[in-house]
Amino acid sequence: MPGPARKRRRPYVAVLRVGHRPGRDPRLTTHLALTARALGAHRLYLHPPDPELAGRVAAVARRWGGRFEVVAAPAWGGIVREFAGLRVHLTMYGEPLVRVLPRLREARRVLVVVGGAKVPPDLFQTADLNVSVGSQPHSEVAALAVLLDRVLGAPPASYFRGARQRIVPARRGKHVVARPAARSR
Ligand code: SAM
């Protein structure tokens, strides 16, 4: 008889965004960071750095919990070369996600690299895997969301430890509760 199902260890996932254009597409990169955080990634390396954007994401994390951070990456090459784990470049030209999914799930650490308007050609060589979410052009936010969901599944509530407020899922309307203040003696 099969024994009790063992809980799968979730890999540590970091995301590297290359080709961000500070001042030109803050909304798209903010959405990328918030998606990475909400779906279970641990950090986002941002190239080139954008301290204002990093500050806005940090404010969200303070309010909604967890340890997600945006880390400045003045040079992206070193982040990819020195990452101790599986380096995955999301590109519509890559191998289908479904084909490489077992490798991603078994890895202890995964770096997911996404491009912007332009993608440095070296990335195709430096990455361990070039992976597509459908062989059609769409968006880095969508591609990242699908990959994280397939690799990590739903993040546990404990992932957002220290939240100042949390949502109570409701059929209708908005139900948000504040964290009870720490008791003083
Ligand atoms: N023109 C760019 C190029 O040379 O690949 C594509 C830019 S696309 C707007 C921005 C990013 O979205 C890509 O670098 C990639 O990370 C991601 N992306 C878009 N479509 C994808 C797909 N089908 N599969 C995986 N990633 C995709």
**pLDDT tens-digit series, residues 148-165:** 999 999 988 888 999 999
- Is residue 74 within 6 Å of ligand 1 at its C-beta? no
pLDDT digits (tens, 9 = 90+) for 72-101: 999 999 999 999 999 999 999 999 999 999
| pLDDT score of 157 | 85
- Is residue 134 within 6 Å of ligand 1 at its C-beta? yes
CA distances from 182 to 61, 162, 177, 178, 179 (A): 19, 12, 15, 12, 9
- Percentage of the chain modeled with pLDDT above 90: 84
Can you tell me the distance from the alpha carbon of 14 to that of 31, in angstroms, rounded to the nearest whole number?
16
Task: Decide if 2 contacts 115 (C-beta within 8 A).
Answer: no
Cα 16 to averaged position of ligand 1 atoms, centre (Å): 13
Query: Closest residue (by CA) to atom 13 of ligand 1?
Result: 115
Handedness of CA 61, 14, 100, 19 (dihedral sign): positive
Mutational pocket test of ligand 1: of 91, 93, 111, 124, the residue with most ligand atoms within 8 Å of the beta carbon: 91
- Return mean pLDDT, the chain: 93
**pLDDT over 50 at 185, yes or no:** no
| pLDDT score of 90 | 98
Can you tell me the distance from the alpha carbon of 111 to that of 160, in angstroms, rounded to the nearest whole number?
21
Compute the average pLDDT of residues 140-147.
Answer: 98
Handedness of CA 125, 27, 45, 161 (dihedral sign): negative
Contacts for 3 with CB less than 8 Å, ≥ 6 apart: none
Task: Work out the pLDDT band at 6, boundaries 50, 70, 90.
Answer: low
pLDDT digits (tens, 9 = 90+) for 25-66: 789 999 999 999 999 999 999 999 999 999 999 999 999 999
- Is residue 137 within 6 Å of ligand 1 at its C-beta? yes
| pLDDT score of 184 | 46
Can you tell me the distance from the alpha carbon of 161 to that of 164, in angstroms, rounded to the nearest whole number?
9
**pTM of structure:** 0.93
For the chain, domains (ranges, CATH) are 12-178 (3.40.1280.10)
